[in-house]
Amino acid sequence: MLTLYVKTGCPFCHKVLDVGRELGITFEEKNIADDVVAAELVARGGKQQVPYLIDSEHEVEMYESGDISEYLRAQYPKK
């Protein structure tokens, strides 16, 4: 499963969501506008920054929209 922490209005998040759409990927989106979700992200990744990707199948987690986009293109190329 692919989980993406996002925040409403975050352009870096939109960039990753656009790549996901292009590749036909569906994310479980978690929005840090909710304080509980924000705390969950900090506990998990170490800082409050979005986007943050969790790829549970491959045990990969990362910040940075550029790195996430590159990872998605490599791991889930469009068929």
Ligand X SMILES: N[C@@H](CCC(=O)N[C@@H](CS)C(=O)NCC(=O)O)C(=O)O
Interaction site with ligand X (CB under 6 A): 7, 10-12, 48-51, 64-66
Cβ at position 22, least distance to ligand X in Å = 17
Q: What span, in angstroms and rounded, lies between the C-alpha atoms of 49 and 45?
A: 9
Cβ at position 62, least distance to ligand X in Å = 10
Question: Given the complex with ligand X, which of 8 and 79 has the nearer CB atom?
Answer: 8
Helix axes 65-75, 11-23, angle to 10 degrees: 10
Please state, in angstroms and as integers, the Cα–Cα distance from residue 45 to each residue in 10, 49, 56, following that order: 18, 9, 14
Question: Given the complex with ligand X, which of 40 and 79 has the nearer CB atom?
Answer: 40
Cβ at position 79, least distance to ligand X in Å = 27
